[in-house]
Amino acid sequence: MSGSDGGEVGATGGEPLLLGVRHHGPGSARAVRAALDAARPRVVLIEGPPEADALIPLAADADMRPPVALLGHAVDEPGRSAFWPLAEFSPEWVALRWALEQDVPARFIDLPATHSLAWGRDTGADEADEAEADAAEAAEAETDTGDGSDGSEGIEEADGAGRIDVRVDPLAVLAETAGYDDPERWWEDVVEHRGGGTGDVFGPFLALEEAMGALRETYGHGGHDKDLVREAYMRLQVRAAQREFRAGVAVVCGAWHVPALRRKASVAADRALLKGLPKVKADMTWVPWTHRRLSRVSGYGAGIDSPGWYGHLFAAPDRPIERWMTKVAGLLRKEDRLVSSAHVIEAVRLAETLAAMRGRPLAGLSETTDAVRAVMCEGSDVPLSLVHDRLVVGDVLGEVPQGAPAVPLQRDLDRAQRRLRLKPEALERELELDLRKEIDAGRSRLLHRLRLLGVAWGEPVASRGSTGTFRETWRLRWEPELAVRVAEAGVWGTTVLAAATAKAEADAVGAPSLADVTALAERCLLAELPDALPVVMQVLADRAALDADVGHLAQALPALVRSLRYGDVRGTDTHALTEVAEGLAERIFVGLPPACAGLDADAAEQIRRHVDAVHGAVGLLGDAAVAAGPAVASPATASPAAASPAMDGTERGAPPLRVRWHSVLRVLCGRESVPGVIRGRAVRLLLDDGELGQDEAARLMGLVLSPGTPPADAAAWIEGFVGGGAGGGMLLVHDERLLGLVDAWLTGVPADAFTDVLPLLRRSFSAYEAGVRRTLGELVRRGPGERAGGGPIGSGAGLPGFATGLDTARADAVLPVVRLLLGLDGVPGHRDADDNDLAGVGG
């Protein structure tokens, strides 16, 4: 048999056996195996980076399960990387396995990764471009190598100089010539659905070579100059193999490259194309890959839309449609859909009928999809989308043997994954962790440390059914690109713990704001990095001491106080964190009142949010300080002035921080220079904490809503008091005096000022639940200032569902049940003599 130029095609002749393929094509893979079995070459040359030659023996390892990928990365810049993915149905993988099984040498002959990874770098890019242009001009008379993609896919790609190169799509052109409107369907009919018969095994390759040669003659090389360089390198490698093995050289490469490898070109011209190429030090390894990632254009430049379907065609050459429909039925049954054997039979018949009507040799993906939709999914695309996601694309994740080269950090991560029984999976899943269990606590530490390193294997999500700090929920999904992130993180250390510690320390020093440092401290506690925490805390203390912006301090305190909660479950020492948090709170207490003066509306709203955040943080911080005991109290906290009550109504023994915070709130609610939204919120917080009586709150509201206060200021005060989603609606529902004051003020707002205050009021009341708004409307609608029972608003008479006074007998009857629910049954001092009978009734 002869090639397009009359050369010998068989591997036993003088010319190499050029097997042009479509990357990740099961038909091409079967044809390659048949051709290699027939030709029995002495060496197999494969398109791929030559640095991976040492990794080829691992392809025969029992623990190697495709899909996998060759990962090449620059040693000094791990983020500069590239993948060469291989599936079980990839022709290159089949060629590798054949060579290993037959004990035949196999080599990669594409442009080395040391050049391809450096391609497009700013350093030396101009010189490389000039060298390529000169070499291409010198070689133009000797070789007619057009441009093309790595496989048969059309690609649009930007080169290092920022130019956009558009390559012709060979499949689209050939399909259009054959009368097809879908290139994928044409390829399936011509190649993928061909059986592995015993006919002319070289015929398909000769036909593809002739077609690609015609396309290259027509379209020339109007695309990527990089392909000219790659093909020059591959020609040099083929010549070297011919000199070493004489005859018997087989080459497996993208079909587009075959005409360029077949045509003659001088060694000098090819070497001229390679002169002056940029370089980086590169390293190679095997990494797991997924079917889903095969659908992307990467490495070989050939993405496929249906890797799961192609994998099925390769694994089931006999009766593929029947086997596919059985798979679909099994998947749908797992999702509790009623699919019987009769459905499978009818779906197969329909797919075959559609193929016959459309003139196809075998039912393809479109026919099987239409049949599944009509028969098994009852015309619905909802279950069909599940079939497409799980089977047509698939979530198969490959495996790589432990002996594959890897950075030390990757090996430590592998050990941790095995120890914690946390296997990477391509399918997204949720993982519930109970931090009281040692194995779950270890999983949490690992995931938090990886997040610090930028390896986003898991994403924390809100736990369902529990708000305790002992429970965490993670959404896990392993992506092949995470192997690159692990390689990048390897610069920080050889173990996950050491790398996360070093990264946290570096991030603390370079953090742009105080809030970022506090967030980092929280992440260090979650990841349990005891060596990093002192460094982070020192940076935090230094930043807090120098930052005079109360807004920055108020942003930092909540995250810092939240971190204290993790000490209980995780057993982390948070004494230093408590001291810094208390010092931060003290500075907020001092600086907040002056910072609230002279603010516009937007700044006042921002400070109001800070006040809410600090209020919650002080409550948690006070509890943490009391629980920790005097040993963790800061000197400022332990001062006699701080320990004494600061206001009327404060109970003895209350946490000093909370006492001083209440003093700050009293100052805010009494200063006329403080914006109304902040004063109203201060009154509301004091009222909620029991530090302000109902009568005093009503008096302050009455003063603000008096005719002498501008309507805009009064509306802002109301917004601060009842707005912000803090339960203000229910407060008005149950406190008739406050509702009466708001109602009387609102009805007395002048018409010319009403349009100014309306946006503020709408913002406040629109945050209430529908039921609360409806109840308020009913209360106000019952006459101006009158209740259903005849009393005015605020009198307490006639409120539906409520009596005029407290029914103590009915209230006392509930106490025994409440004690049982709270676990106070049998606790001395918590039960009266006649509670036993009531408790029995309640039980």
pLDDT of residue 695: 76
pLDDT digits (tens, 9 = 90+) for 355-385: 899 888 788 888 999 999 999 998 988 899 9
Per-residue pLDDT band for 37 (boundaries 50, 70, 90) equals: very high
At residue 6, does pLDDT exceed 70?
no
Distance CA 440, CA 437 (A): 5
pLDDT digits (tens, 9 = 90+) for 508-555: 888 888 778 878 888 888 888 888 878 887 887 777 777 667 777 777
Distance CA 426, CA 69 (A): 15
| 679 falls within a domain | no
| 231 falls within a domain | yes
**77: its two tokens:** 């810049």
**284: its two tokens:** 């190679």
Per-residue pLDDT band for 613 (boundaries 50, 70, 90) equals: confident
| 816 falls within a domain | yes
Task: Summarize the confidence of residues 648-668 as an average pLDDT.
Answer: 69
- CA angle 51-52-56, nearest 5°? 145
Per-residue pLDDT band for 193 (boundaries 50, 70, 90) equals: low
At residue 14, does pLDDT exceed 50?
yes
Task: Summarize the confidence of residues 823-830 as an average pLDDT.
Answer: 60
- Per mean pLDDT, which range of 325-334, 415-424, 628-637, 721-730 is the poorest? 628-637
Same domain, 443 and 341: no
pLDDT of residue 126: 40
| 100 falls within a domain | yes
Which segments within 206-340 are labelled E, that is strand?
A: 249-254, 282-288
Same domain, 70 and 198: yes
Same domain, 353 and 243: no
pLDDT of residue 526: 83
DSSP class of residue 651 equals: P
Total Cβ atoms within 10 A of residue 406: 22
**514: its two tokens:** 């105080």
368 with 325: CB under 8 angstroms? Answer: yes
Same domain, 75 and 174: yes
Provide the greatest CA pair distance for the chain. 112
Task: Summarize the confidence of residues 457-479 as an average pLDDT.
Answer: 78
Per-residue pLDDT band for 654 (boundaries 50, 70, 90) equals: very low
Q: What is the DSSP string of 273-327?
A: HHTT-----EEEEEEE-BHHHHTS--TTT---S-HHHHHHHHH--SSHHHHHHHH
| 56 falls within a domain | yes
- Per mean pLDDT, which range of 37-41, 202-206, 302-306, 691-695 is the poorest? 302-306
Distance CA 7, CA 250 (A): 14
- CA angle 164-165-171, nearest 5°? 135
**164: its two tokens:** 């956009």
Task: Summarize the confidence of residues 177-193 as an average pLDDT.
Answer: 70
Query: pTM for the complete prediction?
Result: 0.63
750: left (phi over 0), alpha (psi -120 to 50) or beta: beta
The most confident of 177-191, 375-389, 675-689, by mean pLDDT:
375-389
pLDDT of residue 111: 92
Same domain, 386 and 413: no
CB-facing half-sphere around the CA of 783: CA atoms within 13 A = 9
> In the predicted model, what is the mean pLDDT of the chain?
76
At residue 47, does pLDDT exceed 90?
yes
- Per mean pLDDT, which range of 274-278, 287-291, 567-571 is the poorest? 567-571
> Helix (H) and strand (E) counts for the chain?
37, 12
Per-residue pLDDT band for 469 (boundaries 50, 70, 90) equals: low
At residue 748, does pLDDT exceed 90?
no
| 212 falls within a domain | yes
| 263 falls within a domain | yes
At residue 11, does pLDDT exceed 90?
no
**CA 115 → CA 118, 124, 233, 276, 277, distances in Å?**
5, 12, 11, 10, 6
Domain-ending residue, one of 480, 497, 514: 497
Same domain, 446 and 482: yes
- Per mean pLDDT, which range of 325-334, 511-520, 640-649, 707-716 is the poorest? 640-649
At residue 413, does pLDDT exceed 60?
yes
Domain-ending residue, one of 497, 527, 543: 497
Taking 3-state DSSP, the helix, strand and coil percentages for the chain, each rounded to the nearest 5, stand at: 55, 10, 35
Task: Summarize the confidence of residues 100-112 as an average pLDDT.
Answer: 94
Same domain, 34 and 84: yes
The most confident of 156-165, 349-358, 563-572, 629-638, by mean pLDDT:
349-358
pLDDT of residue 144: 34
pLDDT of residue 805: 67
- Residue 461 phi, psi dihedral angles, 5° rounding: -130, 165
At residue 836, does pLDDT exceed 80?
no
pLDDT of residue 33: 92
**299 or 173, higher pLDDT:** 173
Per-residue pLDDT band for 164 (boundaries 50, 70, 90) equals: very low
Per-residue pLDDT band for 105 (boundaries 50, 70, 90) equals: very high
pLDDT digits (tens, 9 = 90+) for 313-332: 888 878 889 999 999 999 99
pLDDT of residue 224: 61
- Residue 449 phi, psi dihedral angles, 5° rounding: -65, -40
Distance CA 552, CA 561 (A): 15
**805: its two tokens:** 């006074």
pLDDT of residue 59: 93
Distance CA 723, CA 736 (A): 17
112 with 49: CB under 8 angstroms? Answer: yes
Nearest by Cα to 689 from 667, 659, 716, 732: 659
Same domain, 53 and 201: yes
Per-residue pLDDT band for 465 (boundaries 50, 70, 90) equals: low
- CA angle 818-824-830, nearest 5°? 95
pLDDT of residue 572: 56
At residue 76, does pLDDT exceed 90?
no
Domain-ending residue, one of 465, 497, 529: 497
pLDDT digits (tens, 9 = 90+) for 107-149: 999 999 999 888 755 433 343 344 344 433 333 333 333 333 3
Distance CA 357, CA 46 (A): 40
Same domain, 289 and 336: no
Same domain, 166 and 246: yes
Same domain, 133 and 162: yes
pLDDT of residue 148: 34
pLDDT of residue 377: 92
Same domain, 125 and 206: yes
pLDDT digits (tens, 9 = 90+) for 756-768: 777 767 766 776 7
Total domains in the fold of the chain: 4
Distance CA 779, CA 785 (A): 9
Per-residue pLDDT band for 565 (boundaries 50, 70, 90) equals: low
Distance CA 496, CA 479 (A): 18
Distance CA 325, CA 332 (A): 11
Instruction: Enumerate residues 6+ apart whose C-beta is below 8 A from 266.
Output: 139, 142
Distance CA 96, CA 45 (A): 9
At residue 163, does pLDDT exceed 80?
no
Q: Which domain holds residue 815?
A: 808-842
Question: Which helix (H) or strand (E) element contains residue 399?
Answer: none
DSSP class of residue 491 equals: G
- Per mean pLDDT, which range of 387-396, 761-770, 773-782 is the poorest? 761-770
The most confident of 113-127, 241-255, 281-295, 648-662, by mean pLDDT:
241-255
Total Cβ atoms within 10 A of residue 37: 11
| 248 falls within a domain | yes
